[in-house]
Amino acid sequence: MTTDVVSERAVLAQIKRNRLPRHIAIIMDGNGRWAQKRKLPRIAGHRAGMRAVRQALEGCSQLGVPFLTLYAFSVENWKRPQREISLLMSLLREYLKKERAELKRRDIQLRVIGRVHELPHAVQKDLETALTATRDNSGLTLTLALNYGARTELVDAFRKMAEEGVRNGSVGWDEASISRNLYTEGMPDPDLLIRTSGEMRLSNFLLWQAAYAELWITEVLWPDFTRKDLFRAVSDFQKRERRYGGLG
């Protein structure tokens, strides 16, 4: 048994199963830097990042965390070179095809948030297939944020609400109705928001939903992220006192 396995178990043993986050959201960052450190093309970092996706998913399944949301492509990421974007889209298609059966087998329901209709057609088709294949699953919900931006999401929500107002004569403009009109409708807000690669920002991710999320930032680059890192984040989360503006 390697020391790494031992310490993963040690971290796991600290986690209290009755105080788990219901929803973990992750900003998977640092793929490019991981590749750069190895003198590899950036896309090699994105490919290695798929391994970390499996680790995060396994970790959440193992703990029994019901919602995992991964930030995979932002509305701002279109600013990147065309070549990187198309390679990212191909990787995504590869992931969906490869993992579809595995997601189904492990009772994982796939969900997507973002302006999906603006993604390349081939990607949309593969997404649809994967969504349909996992539709009836009732275990963990894995949400991929694709062509996602929190401000765009709010614009889309407000437009929907305005249209509803025109149709029905009125619409409630309270917090609950805004939440209901977001892409994340029906999901609990994230309790724990993880960002890898040490950047201290939200980069337009779940701005509304993360109002009271506990933030956990690690220097680890996304391709190096393991189940143990996830367990460590959850264990730290459980030591925090969430006050929501009160006195605790």
Residue 90 found at the interface with ligand IPE (CB under 6 A) = no
Residue 190 found at the interface with ligand IPE (CB under 6 A) = no
Q: Which one of residues 8, 25, 29, 233 is an interface residue with ligand IPE (CB under 6 A)? A: 29
Active site residue 189: no
Nearest to 152 by CA among 123, 189, 114, 126: 114
By CB under 5 A, which span of 26-34, 93-101, 116-124, 225-233 interacts with Mg ion?
26-34
H or E element: which one contains 63? helix 42-63
Q: Which one of residues 12, 25, 26, 29 is an interface residue with Mg ion (CB under 5 A)? A: 29
By CB under 5 A, which span of 28-36, 115-123, 137-145, 164-172 interacts with Mg ion?
28-36
C-alpha–C-alpha distance, residues 16 and 97, integer Å: 35
Nearest to 25 by CA among 88, 89, 72: 72
Smallest separation (angstroms) from Mg ion to the CB of 78:
14
C-alpha–C-alpha distance, residues 99 and 160, integer Å: 33
Q: Would you say 8 or 29 has its CB closer to Mg ion?
A: 29
C-alpha–C-alpha distance, residues 40 and 84, integer Å: 13
Residue 149 found at the interface with ligand IPE (CB under 6 A) = no
Compose the 43-82 pattern: x for residues touching ligand IPE by CB under 6 A, - for all others. ----------------------------xxxx--x-----
C-alpha–C-alpha distance, residues 42 and 183, integer Å: 30
Residue 225 interacting partner from Mg ion, ligand IPE, none (CB closer than 5 to 8 Å by kind):
none
Residue 126 found at the interface with ligand IPE (CB under 6 A) = no
Give the contacts of 128 (CB within 8 A, at least 6 positions apart): none
Active site residue 77: yes
Q: Is 107 left (phi over 0), alpha (psi -120 to 50) or beta?
A: left
Q: Position 235: which residue type?
A: S
Catalytic positions: 29, 77
Interacting residue ranges for Mg ion, rule: CB under 5 A: 29
Interacting residue ranges for ligand IPE, rule: CB under 6 A: 27-33, 71-74, 77, 88, 197, 199, 201, 203
